[in-house]
Structure 1
Amino acid sequence: MKRPRQKTYPLMRTPIHTLTNLSRETGVELLIKRDDLNGFGFGGNKLRKLAYLVEEAKDKGATVLLTYGGVQTNHGRMTAAVAASEGLKCCIVLMGEEPEERTGNLVLDGMFDAQLVYVGADESLEQVTREVMDRYEASGEQVYEIPLGGSNSLGVLGYFDAALEIQEQLQRPVDYLVHAYGSGGTYGGLYLGSRVLSNPFEVMGMNVLYPPSERQKLIDSLMPVLREANERFELGVQIRESDFNITMDTVMEGYNLPDKRTQSTVLRVARKEGIVLDYCYTGKAFSGMLQKIETGEIPKGSRVLFLHTGGSPGIFSEGHLEAMKPRFSGGGSK
């Protein structure tokens, strides 16, 4: 394998522990890997990808990291945190209208001194991005552009490494490794890593981004990244679409919409294990995993590792707070 340079962060190797109460309730041995605890900007899976991307940015002489996301992007928040730690500027191009007040990740973006540029429904993302980059370059800055979610052939190495790390940490093998599928970089890295390790566990991606009818669009986005990473870093993996285990309907009512089933799952995990999931990513993925246990697709007695990819600041966004109000009305909870 050809391995590029990677930034080392002190807490990036995250712990795995058992979810004791939920294991007892479900009849499945549930473990959780805590990538929400990796020490930067409220944590999350993007740090592993950024560890490679920021080194390439510095090698190219970048002074600004520019990336994209929804208005409450976790990836943008983590990019801003990493940029701050490296003495770089950060610009986040946000796909949506500017809210009346900052909540959730937007508060943290401001703390990390990121420039926020909003792209309205009647504007072109490409045109706005080009104008922003031109302004930076005209003032003497060097811009390094990071794709949505940090999910390119270099970024996926973060979760290639995570697959190897998980294999080292586990005292006994697991049957399934479950996580939220968004921009595809986390799944892609875990898939490649598991293949290099001769498939010690089944990687299950729970879609939280694409409408269920757009599976082919998801595959068409994932495959070129996997092929480029495989060739670029000489991984020697046979990539087959038939090997992918990605559940589409876990997006429920749509991306970042806190449906009732996901709300109930988030509260269940909080009240049984004291662990906070979010309504956009981890809550939907965990809910999908529980449903597979209930239907027997994940059989009783299985050993399952859930990857906590972070995202907790999104709980404090305006839309999610509003959705949860009925759960806590009258001073109680439901």
Structure 2
Amino acid sequence: MIHTELHAAGIDDSRLRESYRYCRRLNAEHGRTYFLATRLLTPSQRPAVHALYGFARYADDILDDMDDEASPAEREQRLDRLSAKFFTGTADESEPVLAAVLHTVHTYRIPLDLFGDFLTSMRMDLTITDYPDRAALNRYMRGSAAVIGLEMLPILGTVGAAGEAAPYAEALGQAFQLTNFLRDVDEDLERNRVYLPADELAAFDVDRDVLTWCHQHHQTDPKVRRALSAQHDVARTVYREARKGIALLAPESRPCVATAFTLYSEILDRIEAIDFAVFSQRASVSLGRRLRVFSSGLIRAHRARGYGAA
């Protein structure tokens, strides 16, 4: 399948093809929902999406790989090397994602400042462990989530001016990340981070110490449950805004984004269904449900490409 995708995208250089394959493997291994949704794009679109995901995942792993015993200073040096090579267009084998992402950036004319914003947020993870309010968290999410949606727009295509779809693309990236913040609050505490606004938690008498107690005892304190429910409501509001942008995308791209939207919003549903017991279990959508949503999207994707309902 990967050979078909690379051929459809006009990627023939052997070294470049290997970089795209590497990015695709990262997506398949770490981004189950995203990877499933990309199967609904045209073959020529998929390698570029894998390249963007691969670059983001690769940078994130430099910071967060729990099996890597590198010090914070060493992680910062690695991120700086990746950044320098990206912005100088140096695609060597020491950074296997770079050839693919640089080729994608050039092919689709994706603005470089989006990647600058992304790397700025990645650097924040080296030193910032808490966010005092929503504004501070949004500054982090600008680079870690919103720009990902903007990077995708040239690949997905739009029916009108890209600028009209841009706010909704940003909102979708934020909605997905807000879902991650709720689902992974326990895991993030392992890394000494809390991605929930401190002032909004404080309204429910929740602070880091209370969250740490929940983490240590694998329980969700009632006041933490109420605080997480309020964060859940915020995420739902962002999803409602993001949904408006799907109709602004090119028809052949809508099934992919709609599928990702549905599956990720259902992770939010699962968090609520388990009564916010995120310190003792991981909210997820079953494989059967993922396949049913994918199958429905596949029919829409075939219709969008003029294949009928085969």
**Higher share in strand:** 1
**Higher share in helix:** 2
Structure with the bigger RCO (C-alpha within 8 Å, sep 6+) is 1
Q: TM-score, normalised by structure 2?
A: 0.29
Q: TM-score, normalised by structure 1?
A: 0.27
